[in-house]
Structure 1
Amino acid sequence: MDRPGLDTNPLELGPDWFNTLFAEIGIDAEVKSLTSKSIGTGQIGENVRFVFEYAKAGPDAPKTLVGKFPSGNETSLMAAKMLNHYKREVYFYRTFPKVAGRITPDALYTDYDEATNRFALIMEDMSPSEQGDQLKGCGLVEAKLALSAAAVLHASHWEDPTLDDYDWLQGSSKAPPPGLGPEQVAGLWGAFKERYAAQLNADQIEVGDAYAASLPKWGDSYTGPHALTHSDFRLDNMLFGPPGAAKPLAVVDWQTVGRGAPANDVAYFIGAGLTREDRPRHEQALLRYYHDCLKAEGITSYSFEDLYQHYRWFSFYGISVAFAAAMLVKQTERGDEMFLTMLRRHTAQVRDNNAMELLNQVR
């Protein structure tokens, strides 16, 4: 087979390639023609929807599929290589079946080339599911779906020592040092402040300055449980299905999957996913809901008090995602608005939960 996204422009994939793929994975179909269209607003990878017309089709022949491929932007390609994003996403789908498919689209085909850092991921099309809107935020129904999925993810490998066996998994003991160390991430804050000076207020700068100064020690100061985590668990990476859908939520973009703190995903989602007006009203109830979902998945040793303390600790995480990503990926108008919105929401989350006092522990 030609390797899509590796040897071929994915928008130019033709019937022969898919016929070979379908034969290999056991789908009874003969593609006569197809159309390809770029979809989504991904800043690290490019997504393509394929719509098929068949010469013959068995009952399992998909009407459409979605493929994910390397970004066409050189800046994003360099960031993906430095941060190991493409390899990590492909290997996630291959390695963790207790999660992949249950709260994600089903993956029909994965490919990754170590030498060139090219990859391809062919998945079920979740249409008519709709992508979450990071800028708009979400309501309680969507938030509960997301936190229920987080509990499934975290409980699947809660305190699992085998997570350390994977050198490609972010945060494992065998993983190489990250492409960007905490000192380098902290340095990006200065560049972010300079670029967006006119859009930041004094309160946001104070929180960012304090966090950046603490970053070299911040990550190593956590002593709570570890699990399989998404690490970019936010609305733009979620597809919400219509009422009655077999998968009411599918979580995508697993390029940052790792061994990490469960409360990190939770704090990141609630802080960025709810508006500054809605979060304070629903924060505690949503944390209780996530905690109940964890217990329903069999995790009964994690107290709510510990969860809340860890939630406060990781309310800072979204700040670093916002300013670091803004400086590492291609700059777009929507990207600017999204990263600034995230930073504003997370700095408010830090203030509302009196989390600034926690930084005194690591200075």
Structure 2
Amino acid sequence: MSRPGLDTNPLELTPDWFNQLFETIGVDAEVQALTAKAIGTGQIGENVRFVFDYARKGEGAPATLVGKFPSGSDASLMTAKLLGHYEREVMVYRTFPKVAGRITPAALYADYDPDTNRFALIMEDMAPAEQGDQLAGCSVADAERAMDAAAILHAAYWMDEALDTYSWLQNTKLAPPPAIGPEAVVTLWAGFKDRYGAHLTPDVVEVGDAYADALPRFPEERPGPFALIHNDYRLDNMLFGKPGAPKSLAVVDWQTAGKGAPANDVAYFIGAGLTREDRPKHEQALLRYYHARLEAEGVRGYSFDQLYEDYCLNCFYGMSVAFGAAMLVKQTERGDQMFLTMLRRHAAQARDNDALRLLP
């Protein structure tokens, strides 16, 4: 069987390849024809939807599947290699069964070649689920669905020292140092201010400057609990199922997953996922909802007060993602709008929660 994404153009995959895959994983079906169409405009990976025409379709044979493959951009390929994105995403699906398939699309096939840095994921098609919209924000009900999934993710490997045995997972004891260190992040903030200064109000700049000034003094290991975290836990990486769907939410794009503070994902989502008008109204209720869901998943000994303190400190992470990504990826009109919106929302989040008091 060939290895799509590694030695084949995914848009040219044949019925025979899928027939071999189905035989391997126990799907009773014979594909006689298929269509392959690119979906989305991913900057790091390319997504393809496969629609099947069957000569024989047994029970459980999928009408469609979605594949994720390397980017066609040389710059994105280089970035993915530098940051370990492709290997990490494949390994998350292979390694963490208490998460993969439960709050992600189910993966039928996951392959990565370290020599070529090429990969492939063949997953269930979540259509007609709808992708979240980072710019528009979300309802409280959808935010609660995101908090449900976050609690499942974090509780699954809460304080699990086995995380440190994975060198491909970010921030573990075996992982290499971050490719972009604190000094580089400070430089990115300076560049961001130069490029977007006309769009930044003084209150946003004040928060960014305070964070950039304190960043080199942050301890390498921060206090508090650790778990498996997504690290890019936001609406654009979520597929919301229709009412009655078997999976109400599927979280995708696990290329930045790591060991870290669970409150990182929570602060990142709430800070940018709700509008500046809605977040202050619902922030505390969503935090208490998440805390209750954590306890329902079996987490003990983590008080709400500690969660809130951790949440406040992690408000700044979303700012660093916004200005860092803006300076590292291809500049687009929507990208500019999204990164500026995220930056403003996280700066307001930090100010509203007096998070600057926690900076070292």
Is the pair's TM-score, using the shorter chain for normalization, greater than 0.5? yes
**Residue in 2 that maps onto 1:111:** 111
Q: What per-residue deviation string (whole Å, max 9, x for no partner) do you get for residues 230-273 of structure 1?
A: 11100001100011111000111111111100000000000010
TM superposition score normalised by structure 1: 0.97
**Residue in 1 that maps onto 2:324:** 324
- The alpha-carbon deviation at position 215 of structure 1 amounts to 1.7
| Structure 2 unaligned spans of 5+ | none
**Residue in 1 that maps onto 2:43:** 43
Distance between the aligned counterparts of 2:213 and 2:75, measured in 1?
27
Residue range with higher mean Cα deviation, 92-101 or 10-19: 10-19
SS state at 1:324 partner: helix
Distance between the aligned counterparts of 2:2 and 2:33, measured in 1?
17
Checking the alignment, whether the CA contact within 8 Å between 1:76 and 1:328 is kept in structure 2 is no
TM superposition score normalised by structure 2: 0.98
Distance between the aligned counterparts of 2:93 and 2:219, measured in 1?
27
The one-letter amino acid of 1:328's match is: L
Distance between the aligned counterparts of 1:88 and 1:108, measured in 2?
17
- The alpha-carbon deviation at position 221 of structure 1 amounts to 6.1
Distance between the aligned counterparts of 2:279 and 2:212, measured in 1?
24
Q: What per-residue deviation string (whole Å, max 9, x for no partner) do you get for residues 125-171 of structure 1?
A: 00111000101000111000000110000000111111101111111
Structure 2 residue 340 is matched with structure 1 residue 340? yes
**Residue in 2 that maps onto 1:171:** 171
**Residue in 2 that maps onto 1:206:** 206
| Structure 1 unaligned spans of 5+ | none
Distance between the aligned counterparts of 2:202 and 2:17, measured in 1?
55
SS state at 2:137 partner: coil
Q: What per-residue deviation string (whole Å, max 9, x for no partner) do you get for residues 190-216 of structure 1?
A: 222222222222221221122112222
SS state at 2:314 partner: helix
**Residue in 2 that maps onto 1:24:** 24
**CA RMSD across the alignment:** 1.1
- The alpha-carbon deviation at position 220 of structure 1 amounts to 2.7
SS state at 2:218 partner: helix
Structure 2 residue 110 is matched with structure 1 residue 100? no
- The alpha-carbon deviation at position 320 of structure 1 amounts to 0.6
Residue range with higher mean Cα deviation, 2-11 or 115-124: 2-11
Distance between the aligned counterparts of 1:334 and 1:185, measured in 2?
22
The one-letter amino acid of 1:150's match is: A
- The alpha-carbon deviation at position 15 of structure 1 amounts to 1.2
Distance between the aligned counterparts of 2:346 and 2:228, measured in 1?
23
SS state at 1:171 partner: coil
Checking the alignment, whether the CA contact within 8 Å between 1:37 and 1:50 is kept in structure 2 is yes
Checking the alignment, whether the CA contact within 8 Å between 1:323 and 1:343 is kept in structure 2 is yes
Q: Write out aligned runs for 1:1-363 (5 A).
A: 1-218=1-218, 220=220, 222-359=222-359, 362=360
Q: Percent identity between the aligned chains?
A: 70
- The alpha-carbon deviation at position 331 of structure 1 amounts to 2.0
User: How many matched pairs?
Assistant: 360
Distance between the aligned counterparts of 1:273 and 1:97, measured in 2?
27
Distance between the aligned counterparts of 1:60 and 1:156, measured in 2?
28
Distance between the aligned counterparts of 2:174 and 2:296, measured in 1?
31
Residue range with higher mean Cα deviation, 30-39 or 168-177: 30-39
Distance between the aligned counterparts of 1:202 and 1:53, measured in 2?
58
SS state at 1:110 partner: strand
Distance between the aligned counterparts of 2:182 and 2:115, measured in 1?
27
Checking the alignment, whether the CA contact within 8 Å between 1:49 and 1:67 is kept in structure 2 is yes
Checking the alignment, whether the CA contact within 8 Å between 1:163 and 1:228 is kept in structure 2 is yes
Distance between the aligned counterparts of 1:233 and 1:216, measured in 2?
24
- Alpha-carbon spacing, 1:170–1:58, altered in 2? closer, same or farther (3 Å): same
Checking the alignment, whether the CA contact within 8 Å between 1:319 and 1:343 is kept in structure 2 is yes
Q: What per-residue deviation string (whole Å, max 9, x for no partner) do you get for residues 28-80 of structure 1?
A: 11111111111123221111111111111111111000011111222222221
Distance between the aligned counterparts of 1:337 and 1:41, measured in 2?
16
Distance between the aligned counterparts of 2:107 and 2:333, measured in 1?
31
Distance between the aligned counterparts of 1:74 and 1:99, measured in 2?
31
The one-letter amino acid of 1:171's match is: N
Distance between the aligned counterparts of 2:274 and 2:70, measured in 1?
30
Distance between the aligned counterparts of 2:41 and 2:198, measured in 1?
25
The one-letter amino acid of 2:158's match is: W
Residue range with higher mean Cα deviation, 206-215 or 46-55: 206-215
SS state at 1:196 partner: helix
